[in-house]
Amino acid sequence: MVTPDDLDVYVVNNGNETVRVLPTPSGAYPDVGPLSGGTAVNIIGEGLGDTTAVRFGCQPAASFTVLNDQETLAVSPRLVTDVKIDATIGQHTTRTVGRFYYLPDSVLTGISPTSGPLSGGGTLTVTGRGLITTTSVRFGTVAVTPSSVLDDKVTVTVPPTQTAGPVPVTVVTRSNSSGHSTFTYVGPPGITSVTPSSGSTAGGDPVLIVGTELASTQSVTIGGVAAAFGIISNTRIAAITPPAAAPGPANVTVTTAGGTTTAPGAFVYA
């Protein structure tokens, strides 16, 4: 158990029912932060009560506060390299109290895909730079742990949601982050009518498919054969019937980012 001030650790030995108190190791916590500075760094050691200066490499800390003889809180300045942290005790004594590592700022430049079903579950790729320290990707207020992390690419499984619509996508890293994209959750599509409802087995007939959640349509098939199509609106698609091997009813199927729907026998080849 760590004490509330983070200065001591209690270790329980169940074998002989004893408790030992171990001091937190001297050093700087956290020891990483963005190049732009501004990281609050807790310096732990002995004899820090008389600290008169804190330096990150050759640069003075943006600010510092002496909390007690064992603890000083400093704010990292803007730098471009990894450095040691020195504290000046009194007027003349300077000693190294830790190291601090600067990370490049993280930038999100895009995501793929940009839409998907309410059920989630698909793999989304985040692209950018400085992403190697990504700890989570946020879809609105929902944080998801990445499945793969590289400096220029992060992959994550899209979480489910209850409501269709856009949500901001951001990355959480150990440095400052900038940039965001938008992922749109799409409800399942529906077909309410196909007009006209019949045509020649030779194909080539224009039909209007009316339904719901059709704006992200990815494919249309009639009788199991892919049909050329164009999206008119979220409720209307224009398609051209493909040729059919024989007369009879044919299923009309629409696949969107939100799922797939089929209208059984909605078009009849004559």
CA dist., res. 78 & res. 62, Å (int): 8
pLDDT for res 199:
95
Question: DSSP for 39-103?
Answer: -EEEEE-SS-TTEEEEEETTEEPSEEEEEETTEEEEE----SS-EEEEEEETTTEEEEEEEEEEE
pLDDT for res 80:
65
- Whole-prediction pTM value? 0.67
CA 7 to chain centre: 34
pLDDT for res 25:
75
Burial of 19 (0-12, 13-18, 19+ CB in 10 A): exposed
Per-residue pLDDT of the chain (270 residues; tens, 9 = 90+): 444 444 444 444 555 555 555 456 789 998 888 888 888 999 999 889 999 999 998 899 999 999 999 999 999 998 867 888 999 998 878 989 898 888 888 999 999 999 999 999 999 999 999 898 899 999 999 999 999 999 999 999 999 999 999 999 999 998 878 888 999 999 999 999 999 999 999 999 999 999 999 999 999 999 999 999 999 999 999 999 999 999 999 999 999 999 999 999 999 999
CA dist., res. 165 & res. 214, Å (int): 14
